[in-house]
C-alpha cells in the first residue's frame, strides 16, 4: 500500500468486515438477558386518545414493561435545538395522535413474539378528529389544527431576497411562470432502524443505534430522559445506509433507554420494513411556483420562487428544508434579482425529514425543468442558455452564501462533449423514434454552517495518537454510514503523516470515546469538516515529529522536513531522517513519556449562512420512450461534476452512481402513495426502486477544482448529483416524446395519459393551485 | 402447528386430507401469509421430498411438469424453452432469481393469484392439470381450474400433482409479454398467446391475459378476430384496440383499470406479432 | 410445538429446537448467531437475506427453517475459507468498490457466487439478471457489476474451466484454489 493514498482508488477500510459478514449492525447485536421491544402505532390519522388500557398486555407472561406517553417525561424534542418552539415531538403520544403510525405505546418482553402478542392486548379508544392530508386543506381557513401553538398549521416560513425584482421582470423580454409538484419518497436504506439500550447501576445509558448523528442522539436522549448529556453514551455500529433518514432521536431510542433504565435489562427495538415505509421519514413533497424572466438573448433577469413544503405531522428537519430549498433555488445561475418565500405546512401524514440532496432535488427539478422550458421558448440550446448564465467562481447570493471554486461551466462543456449533445439534441422533440436526451444540473453544499443544533462544541473534531510502534490511532465522532468517510479520513491522515493505510486504526462514532463534538453525517459535511479536523490533528503530530528530527539532524524545520514513506526526513537529503516510529519514540522520550497526540477541530466561521463551499455538476440522460405503453427506459447517464480535488476516485464514482439510482427512482417510479392518511404501498413489492436490470450505463468525469477550504482541495460528492437526474430524465422524456413533465414521478401510466391528451392524470391540474405564502407570524 | 414432510405421494395425499392441513411447496407466498396472520394452518404438508412431484418429463406426445418443479428449473431446462417459448419467457421474468429458485409450478397455480405469470402461458398452451386425492385422480384443463382470486377447483384433500402439455406441432408458436413498473415486479398486465400458423394464416389460437380480472382471461373475441387471418398490421392494430374490451381489470396502487385495459391491447398485439414472427425451431 | 432439527450450515451441523413457522432467516440470525445474513424486508423483495441452499440462491426470509433440513446451507460466513482466503467474489467486491453500507453485500455476494457457479462467463445482461433479486440503495449497481465481471475473470484464471461450474456450497470457489480470493487489499 502506498504511503500517498490521496487521489487513489483506496478500497474501503471496512470492506473485509462487510464482505465476510463480520460487520455488526445494530440488529446483529445482542446482550445476555436482552428484552425485545415493539411499538404500538396509531391506526388513525388524527384522534384524541380517549382511553388507553395496558393491563392485559402487562399481565401477559414474559412481558417486562409496557410504557405509554404519560410514563415518559413530557419533554418535547426535535433537531432544531436553536429554536425550541420548533421541537414538537414526543416519543409516545400524550392524549393525541397526529398520523397513522404515531407511536402510542411500547412493550418489552422476553422475546419478539411475546412483545407482538402484548401489543395486540393493549386497548386504545380513539376519538377521531378531522384530519388534513394536503397543503390546501391544511392551509384553508378553519382547517383542523395539528399543534395548538401553530393555529394556521404553518410551522415555519423563510424568505430570501436580493436585487430589484420588479426592475428585473420589467426589463425581461420573456417571463414565464410554472408550478411544479414533487412527491414523497423513501430513503429505503436497506437496514431498517434498530436500537439497543443498556443501563448501568446509576441509570446511565449506553445506546447502540443505527444513526448518522450519534452526538445529536446523545444530547436529545439525555434531555428527554432528564439525564446529563454525558450520562448517555451513543455508539454507532455499522449502519446500513441513512441518506438523511437516520439523523434524529427517534421514539424507539427513547423507549429502549427508558425501559432499560426501568427494568435494568438491555432492550432492543428493530423496525420492520413496513414500519419504515409506512411511518418513516420521507422526502418532503412540495409545490413550487416559479416565475422567471429572461432577456431575448437568454440572460436571466429575475426569479420569484414560492414553495410550500408538506411537512407531515411534526417539524423534523423541516425548518432546514424550508430555508435550503430557497437557497438551492438561487444556485447554479446568476440571478440579478431573486425572491424566495417558503412555508412548512403540517398535515396528518408521517413527517417528512432530511433526505439526500435535502431541498435540492425539489428546487432543482423546478429550476432545471423551467430552464429547459425557457430554452425551448427562446430557441436557445439548453446548454448554451446555461453557459450564458452559469455561476462562476466568486459569485455570491447576497447575505446568504459565496461561491468559492466553481467548475460549473466546464462541467456543462464536458457533459455536452461526452454525450454528443450538440449532434443528438439537434432534432426536435418527439422526432427521434422514441429516443431522446435531456439535461439537468446541480449544485450542493459541502457541509452546513448554520448552527441549528446550537452545539457548544466544534462542528467536527479529531484526535490522532501516534505510537512508537509506528501505528497511529484516529478518534473521531464522524459517522460512516456507508458513504466511505472512515476510509477517506484515514486516507487524509495517512497522506499527511506519510504512513501507510494499514498503520492507521480508527475509533469512530462513539460519544464516550471520541472527542466532542461532531454533528454527524448530513449535508455532505464529513469529508470537509471532519477531514479538516483530522488534518489539523495530523499537522500537530507532524510538527512535533518534524521538530524532533530537525533538532537531531539540524534541518530547517520550516522548509526541509517531510513525512513520507514512513520516514521523517529531510526533503533534500533523504538519508537525514528516521522512521516515523522512531521519531515518535524520540518525541516521547524528550517529553518524559508524554504521548504524541494531535487534536484538531473544525468549525466554520464567517462563511455566510449556508456552507463553506459548493459542488457543481451537469448531467445528461438518454431515454427510450415506448409511445404505446408510456414506459421510459433510461439507457445512459453522463455526468460531469466538480467535487473539488478527488480524494478517492472509486468512492466518488460510487456516490455518483448511487445518486443516479435514487434520482432515477424519483423521476420515474418511486412514490409513497397516500390514501386517507395511510401509506398504501408500504412494501418493496409496491414501492418500486430501480434494480439491477433497470440501471442505465453510467459514465462520469470529474472536473477537478482545488478548493482551499476542503482538505487537499476536496468538496462534496455524495448528494449533489441526485438533484440533476430527475430533471435530466424529465427533459429527455420531453425530447423523446414531446411531453414536458412538471410533476414527478413520470410513471408510464401518467406519461401515456399525457401523450394521449389527458392532462388531468398527468398532474397538470395542479397548475392552478396556489403557492401563496402566508405572512410570517412572530414565533417563540 | 404440525409440520409433515412426506416422501411419497400416497403419504402426502393422506396428510393433505387431514382437516386444517395446508400444502407447503416453495413457500414464497404461504410463509408470508402465515407470518402476517392471514393463514393459520393446523398442519403443513411439505412437498419438498415427494419424488413423484419433481421435475420435467418429456414424453413422446406430451410434456409433464411435476408440481414441485421450480421456476428456475423451467428456465434452465434445455428443451422446454424451445418447445414453449411463452412458458420460458414467463418463467424468465417471474419474480427474481431468488424467488425462481424457490417458487414452484404447482404452488403458483394453486395460489391462483390473478397476476400469476405462469397461468396465462400455460392456459394458452392448452395445459391440463393433474389432480389427485386419496380416492381419485382427475385431469382438468388449466383454463377451467381457476374460480377467482385464491380460489380453484381443488377439492378438499386434493393435490395438484402435475401440469401436462401436448408437444407442439411444427407450426405452433407462442409468446408471452408482461408489463411492470420496474423490471422485477408483479405483472400489471401479462398476455400469452399460442397459435398455429398455416401458410401465413392463423389456424388455431389461444390468447390469455393476466392481472386484468379475477382469474386469467381468455380473449375469445380476439381469438375469433384473428382466426383464419394473416396477422397483418391492420389486423394487429384492431387487436390492439379491441383486446381491452374483453378484460375486467381493477384500479389499485399499481395501475388504473383504464391503463390495464389499454396495456392488454398493446401486449396482445405485440405478443401475436412476436409469435407470428418467431422462427419455427 | 417446537421440534428439534439438524441443520447443515457452512459444513457444520447444528441441532436446534424450532417451531415450524420459524424462518431460516430467524434461525440463522437468532439461534445460530450467523448475523452476516441480513433482514431487509422480510418479504423476499430485497435479497439482503440471501443464502445458498444446495448451491442455489434463495431468500432465507421466505423459507421455513424446517424446510432446510437435509440441505446444505451456505451463508456469507461460509464463503471465505480463512481470514485471508476470501472467495473471489468477496475479494472483488472489496477491490472494485462494490461495497458501501454493506447491508446488501452478503446477499449480493451469494447471488453472484451462485451465478458464477452456473455461468462462469456471464454477459452483462446475465449478471443483471443474476442479481435481480438483490436490492442495493447505495452503489447504483455499477461497481457491483464490475466486481462480478472481475470475479468471473479471476475464477476462470484460477481454475480449470470445468471446475468453475462447481458448487460454491462445497466450500471454496467452485473447486478451484480456495486461496484464489487473495488477501485483504
* Sheet of B217-218, strand order: B172-179, B189-198, B201-210, B217-218
SS3 C145: helix
Could you tell me where the beta strands, DSSP code E, fall in C60-131? 72-74
Q: Are residues B150 and B191 in the same domain?
A: no
Average pLDDT over every residue of A635-653: 98
**pLDDT digits 0-9 by tens, A364-401:** 999 999 999 999 999 999 999 999 999 999 999 988 89
**Nearest Cα to C109, choosing from C163, C23, C51?**
C51
* Identity of the residue in A21, A270, A481 whose CB atom sits nearest the CB atom of C77: A21
β strands within A129-275, DSSP E: 154-162, 174-182, 194-199, 205-209, 232-235, 267-270
For A613-635, write each residue's pLDDT tens digit: 999 999 999 999 999 999 999 99
B253 touches C: beta carbon within 8 Å: no
* Claim to verify: residue B162 and residue B179 sit in the same structural domain: no
Residues from chain C contacting residue A270 (CB–CB below 8 Å):
39
pTM for the full model? 0.96
Measured CA to CA, the distance from residue B165 to residue A650 in angstroms comes to: 52
Q: What is the mean pLDDT of chain B?
A: 96
Residues B37 and B161 in one domain: yes
- Chain-chain contact of A23 with C102 (C-beta, under 8 angstroms): yes
Read off the DSSP letter of residue A436: E
Report the run of H or E that residue A39 belongs to, with start and end: strand A35-41
Rounded distance between C-alpha atoms, residue A545 and residue A552, angstroms:
11
Strand-pair partners of B132: B137, B159
Confidence class of residue B36 from pLDDT cuts 50, 70 and 90? confident
Cα A10 from Cα A569, distance rounded (Å): 25
Task: Indicate whether B69 and B202 sit together in one domain.
Answer: no
Instruction: Point out the residue among A187, A238, A243 whose CB comes nearest to the CB of C102.
Output: A238
Q: Report the CATH number that the domain containing residue B200 is assigned in CATH.
A: 3.30.390.50
Average pLDDT, stretch B153-161? 97
Residues B144 and B177 grouped into a single domain = no
Chains that touch C (3 or more CB pairs under 8 A): A, B
**Tally of residues, chain B:** 281
Supply the pLDDT for residue C161. Answer: 45
Residue of chain A minimizing CA distance to C28: A28
* B214 and B140, same domain (yes or no): no
Asked whether residue B108 falls in the same domain as residue B218, the answer is: no
Same domain? For B18 and B145 the reply is: yes
Per-residue pLDDT at C64 exceeds 70? yes
For domain C88-179, is the CATH number 3.20.20.140? no
Question: Do residues A430 and A58 lie in contact, with contact meaning Cβ atoms separated by under 8 Å?
Answer: no
User: Of B166, B189, B209, which residue sits at a domain end?
Assistant: B166
Identify the structural domains of chain A with CATH numbers, from first to last: 15-22+459-602 (3.30.365.10), 32-129+190-241+246-279 (3.90.1170.50), 357-449+610-768 (3.30.365.10)
Average pLDDT over residues A653-662: 98
- Confidence (pLDDT) at A772: 79
Phi (first) and psi of residue A743, to 5 degrees: -135, 155
Q: Which of B134, B166, B198 is the last residue of a domain?
A: B166
CB proximity list for C97: less than 8 A, separation 6 or greater: A9, A11, A12, A650, A651, A653, A654, C139, C143
Residue A458 has pLDDT above 90, yes or no: yes
ipTM, 2 dp: 0.96
Residue C178 pLDDT grade (very low, low, confident, very high; cuts 50, 70, 90): very low
User: Is the pLDDT confidence value at C166 over 80?
Assistant: no
Question: ω into residue A517 within 30 of 0, thus cis?
Answer: yes
Mean pLDDT of A416-420: 98
For residue A344, give the nearest of A198, A155, A175 by alpha carbon: A155
Q: What is the pLDDT of residues B88-102, one digit of tens each?
A: 999 999 999 999 999
- Nine-digit cell string for A447: 457541509
Asked if A680 has any chain B CB less than 8 Å from its own CB, the reply is yes
| Cα A727 to Cα A305: distance, rounded to the nearest angstrom | 17
Mutation site, C96, C115, C137, interface A, largest A CB count within 10 A: C137
How much is the pLDDT for C144? 98
HSE of A398 in the Cβ direction (CA atoms, 13 Å)?
10
Please tell me the predicted confidence (pLDDT) of residue C157.
85
Q: Is the predicted pLDDT of residue A250 greater than 70, yes or no?
A: yes
* Contact between A661 and C37 using a beta-carbon 8 Å cutoff: no
For residues B113 and B232, state if they share a domain: no
Looking at residue B156, which CATH number applies to its domain?
Answer: 3.30.465.10
Asked if B266's CB is within 8 angstroms of A629's CB, the reply is yes
Q: Which CATH number fits domain C3-78: 3.10.20.30, 3.40.50.2300, 3.40.50.300, 1.10.1740.10?
A: 3.10.20.30
Q: What is the tens place of the pLDDT at every residue in A265-311?
A: 999 999 999 999 999 999 999 999 999 999 999 999 999 999 999 99
Tell me, what's the pLDDT at A769? 66
Give the pLDDT score at C169.
Answer: 38
What is the per-residue pLDDT for C159? 54
Of A675, A674, A672, A676, residue with least CA distance to A686 = A672
- According to the model, what pLDDT value does residue B119 have? 98
Q: Which domain holds residue B136?
A: 2-166
- Residue C152 makes CB contacts below 8 A (sequence gap 6+) with C116, C120, C121, C122
Q: How many domains does chain B have?
A: 2
What's the mean per-residue pLDDT of chain A?
96
* Mutation choice for C interface testing from B47, B69, B98 by most C CBs within 10 A: B98
Cβ–Cβ of B182/A689 closer than 8 Å?
Answer: yes
Domain final position from B166, B196, B211? B166
d(CA A729, CA A620): 8
pLDDT at C183: 34
Strands (E), chain B: 2-4, 21-24, 43-46, 56-58, 62-66, 128-132, 137-141, 146-148, 151-152, 159-166, 172-179, 189-198, 201-210, 217-218
Strands A460-466 and A596-602: antiparallel
Helix-strand-coil split of chain C, %, nearest 5: 40, 15, 45
Confidence of residue A757 (pLDDT cuts 50, 70, 90): confident
Find, among B73, A29, A113, the residue nearest to C23 by Cα.
A113
Cβ contacts (< 8 Å) between C66 and chain B: which residues? Answer: 3, 5, 46
Contacts of A201 (CB under 8 A, 6+ apart): none
Beta bridge partners of B140: B129
CA C161, C166, C169, C175 torsion-angle sign: negative
Residue from A11, A21, A111 whose CB has the most chain C CBs within 10 Å, to mutate: A21
**C:83-102 residues touching chain B, CB 8 A cutoff:** none
The reply to whether B69 and B147 lie within a common domain is yes
- On whether both B141 and B177 belong to a single domain, the answer is no
Chains in contact with A via at least 3 Cβ–Cβ pairs below 8 Å: B, C
Predicted local confidence at residue C171, as pLDDT: 36
Question: For residue C110, which of C149, C79, C155 has the smallest C-alpha distance?
Answer: C79
Whether chain C has a CB inside 8 Å of the CB on B57: the answer is: no
Same domain flag for B13 and B111? yes
Cα–Cα distance measured from residue B100 to residue A142, given in angstroms and rounded to the nearest whole number = 54
CA max distance for chain B: 59
Arithmetic mean of pLDDT, A574-603: 97
Q: Quick one: pLDDT at residue A765?
A: 43
Rounded to whole angstroms, how far apart are CA atoms A347 and A349? 5
Chain C, 147 to 176: residues with Cβ < 8 Å from chain A are: none
What are the sequence ranges of the domains in chain C? 3-78, 88-179
Local confidence band at A131 (pLDDT 50, 70, 90 cut-offs): very high
Amino acid at each position: 500500500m502506498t504511503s500517498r493514498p490521496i487521489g487513489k482508488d483506496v478500497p474501503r477500510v471496512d470492506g473485509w468486515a462487510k464482505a465476510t459478514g463480520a460487520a455488526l449492525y445494530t440488529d446483529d447485536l445482542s446482550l445476555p438477558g436482552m428484552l425485545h421491544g415493539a411499538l404500538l402505532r396509531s391506526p388513525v390519522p388524527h384522534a384524541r386518545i380517549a382511553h388507553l388500557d395496558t393491563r392485559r398486555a402487562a399481565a401477559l407472561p414474559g412481558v417486562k414493561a409496557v410504557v405509554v406517553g404519560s410514563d415518559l417525561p413530557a419533554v418535547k424534542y426535535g433537531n432544531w435545538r436553536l429554536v425550541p418552539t420548533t421541537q414538537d415531538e414526543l416519543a409516545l403520544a400524550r392524549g393525541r395522535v397526529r398520523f397513522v403510525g404515531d407511536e402510542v405505546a411500547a412493550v418489552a418482553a422476553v422475546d419478539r413474539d411475546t412483545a407482538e402478542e402484548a401489543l395486540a392486548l393493549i386497548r386504545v379508544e380513539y376519538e377521531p378528529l378531522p384530519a388534513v392530508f394536503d397543503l390546501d386543506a391544511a392551509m384553508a381557513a378553519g382547517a383542523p389544527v395539528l399543534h395548538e401553538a401553530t393555529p394556521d398549521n404553518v410551522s415555519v416560513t423563510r424568505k430570501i431576497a436580493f436585487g430589484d425584482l420588479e426592475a428585473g421582470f420589467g426589463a425581461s423580454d420573456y417571463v414565464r411562470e410554472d408550478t411544479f409538484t414533487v412527491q414523497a419518497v423513501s430513503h429505503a436504506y436497506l437496514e431498517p432502524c434498530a436500537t439497543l439500550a443498556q443501563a448501568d447501576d446509576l441509570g446511565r445509558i449506553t445506546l447502540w443505534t443505527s444513526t448518522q448523528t450519534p452526538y445529536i442522539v446523545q444530547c436529545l436522549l439525555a434531555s428527554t430522559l432528564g439525564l446529563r448529556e454525558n450520562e448517555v453514551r451513543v455508539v454507532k455500529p455499522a449502519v446500513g445506509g441513512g441518506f438523511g433518514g437516520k439523523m434524529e432521536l427517534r421514539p424507539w431510542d427513547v423507549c429502549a433507554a427508558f425501559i432499560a433504565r426501568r427494568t435494568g435489562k438491555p432492550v432492543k427495538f428493530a423496525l420492520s420494513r413496513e414500519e419504515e415505509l409506512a411511518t418513516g421519514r420521507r422526502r418532503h413533497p412540495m409545490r413550487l411556483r416559479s416565475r422567471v424572466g429572461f432577456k431575448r438573448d437568454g440572460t436571466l433577469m429575475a426569479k420569484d420562487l414560492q414553495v410550500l413544503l408538506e411537512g407531515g405531522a411534526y417539524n423534523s428537519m423541516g425548518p432546514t428544508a424550508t430555508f435550503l430549498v430557497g437557497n438551492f433555488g438561487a444556485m447554479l445561475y446568476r440571478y440579478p434579482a431573486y425572491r424566495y418565500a417558503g412555508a412548512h405546512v403540517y398535515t396528518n401524514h408521517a413527517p417528512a425529514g432530511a433526505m439526500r440532496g435535502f431541498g435540492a432535488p425539489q428546487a432543482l427539478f423546478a429550476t432545471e425543468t423551467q430552464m429547459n422550458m425557457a430554452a425551448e421558448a427562446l430557441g436557445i440550446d439548453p446548454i448554451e442558455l446555461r453557459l450564458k448564465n452559469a455561476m462562476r467562481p466568486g459569485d455570491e447570493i447576497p447575505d446568504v452564501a459565496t461561491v468559492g471554486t466553481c467548475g460549473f461551466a466546464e462541467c456543462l462543456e464536458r457533459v455536452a462533449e461526452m454525450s454528443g449533445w450538440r449532434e443528438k439534441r439537434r432534432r426536435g422533440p418527439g422526432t427521434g423514434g422514441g429516443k431522446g436526451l435531456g439535461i439537468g444540473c446541480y449544485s450542493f453544499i459541502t457541509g452546513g454552517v448554520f448552527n441549528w443544533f446550537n452545539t457548544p462544541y466544534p462542528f467536527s473534531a479529531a484526535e490522532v495518537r501516534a505510537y512508537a510502534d509506528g501505528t497511529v490511532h484516529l478518534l473521531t465522532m464522524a459517522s460512516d454510514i456507508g458513504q466511505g468517510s472512515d476510509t477517506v479520513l484515514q486516507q487524509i491522515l495517512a497522506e499527511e503523516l506519510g504512513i501507510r493505510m494499514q498503520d492507521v486504526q480508527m475509533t469512530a462514532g462513539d460519544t464516550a470515546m471520541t472527542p466532542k463534538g461532531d454533528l454527524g453525517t448530513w449535508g455532505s459535511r464529513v469529508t470537509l469538516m471532519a477531514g479538516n479536523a483530522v488534518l489539523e490533528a495530523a499537522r500537530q503530530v507532524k510538527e512535533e515529529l518534524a521538530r524532533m528530527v530537525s533538532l537531531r539532524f539540524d534541518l530547517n524545520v520550516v522548509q526541509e522536513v517531510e513525512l513520507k514513506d514512513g520516514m521523517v526526513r529531510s526533503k533534500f537529503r533523504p538519508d537525514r531522517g528516521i522512521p516515523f516510529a522512531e521519531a515518535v519514540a524520540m518525541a516521547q522520550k524528550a517529553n518524559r513519556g508524554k504521548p504524541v497526540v494531535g487534536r484538531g477541530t473544525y468549525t466554520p466561521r464567517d462563511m455566510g449562512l449556508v456552507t463553506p463551499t459548493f459542488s457543481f455538476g451537469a448531467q445528461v440522460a438518454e431515454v427510450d420512450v415506448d409511445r404505446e405503453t408510456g414506459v421510459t427506459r433510461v439507457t445512459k447517464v453522463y455526468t460531469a461534476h466538480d467535487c473539488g480535488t478527488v480524494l478517492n476516485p472509486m468512492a466518488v464514482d460510487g456516490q455518483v452512481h448511487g445518486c443516479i439510482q435514487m434520482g432515477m427512482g424519483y423521476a420515474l417510479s418511486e412514490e409513497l402513495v397516500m390514501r386517507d392518511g395511510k401509506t398504501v404501498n408500504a412494501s418493496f413489492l409496491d414501492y418500486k426502486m430501480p434494480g439491477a436490470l433497470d440501471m442505465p450505463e453510467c459514465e462520469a468525469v470529474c472536473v477537478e477544482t482545488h478548493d482551499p477550504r476542503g482538505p487537499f482541495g476536496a468538496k462534496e460528492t455524495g448528494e449533489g448529483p441526485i438533484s440533476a437526474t430527475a430533471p435530466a430524465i424529465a427533459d429527455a422524456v420531453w425530447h423523446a416524446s414531446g411531453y414536458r413533465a412538471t410533476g414527478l414521478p413520470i410513471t408510464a401510466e401518467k406519461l401515456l395519459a399525457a401523450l394521449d391528451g389527458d392532462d388531468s392524470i398527468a398532474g397538470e391540474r395542479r397548475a392552478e393551485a396556489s403557492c401563496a405564502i402566508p405572512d410570517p407570524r412572530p414565533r417563540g | 402447528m404440525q409440520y409433515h414432510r412426506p416422501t411419497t405421494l400416497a403419504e402426502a395425499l393422506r396428510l393433505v386430507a387431514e382437516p386444517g392441513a395446508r400444502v407447503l411447496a416453495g413457500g414464497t407466498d404461504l410463509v408470508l401469509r402465515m407470518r402476517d396472520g392471514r393463514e393459520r394452518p393446523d398442519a403443513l404438508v411439505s412437498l419438498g421430498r415427494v419424488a413423484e412431484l419433481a421435475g420435467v418429463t418429456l414424453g413422446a406426445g406430451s410434456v409433464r411438469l411435476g408440481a414441485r418443479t421450480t421456476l428456475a428449473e423451467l428456465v434452465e431446462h434445455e428443451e422446454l424453452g424451445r418447445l414453449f417459448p411463452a412458458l420460458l419467457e414467463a418463467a424468465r421474468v417471474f419474480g427474481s432469481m431468488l424467488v425462481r429458485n424457490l417458487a414452484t409450478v404447482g404452488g403458483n397455480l394453486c395460489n391462483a393469484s390473478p397476476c400469476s405469470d405462469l397461468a396465462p402461458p400455460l392456459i394458452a398452451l392448452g395445459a391440463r392439470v393433474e389432480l389427485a386425492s386419496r380416492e381419485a385422480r382427475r385431469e382438468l384443463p388449466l383454463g377451467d381450474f381457476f374460480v377467482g382470486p385464491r380460489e380453484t377447483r381443488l377439492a378438499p384433500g386434493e393435490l395438484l400433482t402435475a401440469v401436462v402439455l401436448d408437444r407442439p406441432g411444427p407450426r405452433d408458436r407462442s409468446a408471452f409479454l408482461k408489463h411492470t413498473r420496474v423490471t422485477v415486479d408483479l405483472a400489471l398486465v401479462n398476455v400469452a398467446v399460442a397459435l398455429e400458423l398455416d401458410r401465413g394464416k392463423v389456424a388455431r389460437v389461444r390468447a390469455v391475459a393476466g392481472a386484468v380480472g379475477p382469474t386469467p382471461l381468455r380473449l375469445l373475441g380476439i381469438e375469433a378476430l384473428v382466426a383464419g387471418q394473416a396477422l397483418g398490421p391492420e389486423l394487429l392494430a384492431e387487436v390492439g384496440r379491441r383486446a381491452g374490451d374483453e378484460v375486467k381489470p381493477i384500479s389499485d396502487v399499481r395501475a388504473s383499470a383504464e391503463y390495464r385495459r389499454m396495456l392488454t391491447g398493446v401486449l396482445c398485439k405485440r405478443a401475436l406479432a412476436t409469435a407470428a414472427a418467431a422462427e419455427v425451431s | 410445538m417446537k421440534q428439534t432439527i439438524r441443520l447443515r450450515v457452512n459444513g457444520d451441523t447444528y441441532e436446534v429446537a424450532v417451531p415450524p413457522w420459524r424462518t431460516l432467516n430467524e434461525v440463522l440470525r437468532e439461534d445460530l448467531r450467523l448475523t452476516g445474513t441480513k433482514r431487509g424486508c422480510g418479504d423476499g423483495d430485497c435479497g439482503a437475506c440471501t443464502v445458498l441452499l444446495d448451491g442455489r440462491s434463495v431468500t432465507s426470509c421466505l423459507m421455513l427453517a424446517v424446510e432446510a433440513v437435509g440441505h446444505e446451507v451456505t451463508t456469507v460466513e461460509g464463503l471465505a475459507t480463512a481470514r485471508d482466503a476470501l472467495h473471489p467474489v468477496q475479494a472483488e467486491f472489496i477491490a472494485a468498490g462494490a461495497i458501501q453500507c454493506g447491508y446488501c453485500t452478503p446477499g449480493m455476494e451469494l447471488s453472484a457466487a451462485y451465478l458464477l457457479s452456473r455461468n462462469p462467463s456471464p454477459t452483462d445482461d446475465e449478471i443483471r439478471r443474476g442479481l435481480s433479486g438483490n436490492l442495493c440503495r447505495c452503489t447504483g449497481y455499477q461497481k457491483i457489476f464490475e466486481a462480478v465481471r472481475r470475479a468471473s475473470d479471476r475464477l476462470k484464471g484460477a481454475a480449470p474451466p470445468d471446475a468453475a461450474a462447481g458448487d460454491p456450497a462445497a466450500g471454496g470457489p467452485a473447486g478451484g484454489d480456495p486461496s484464489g480470493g487473495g488477501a485483504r487489499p
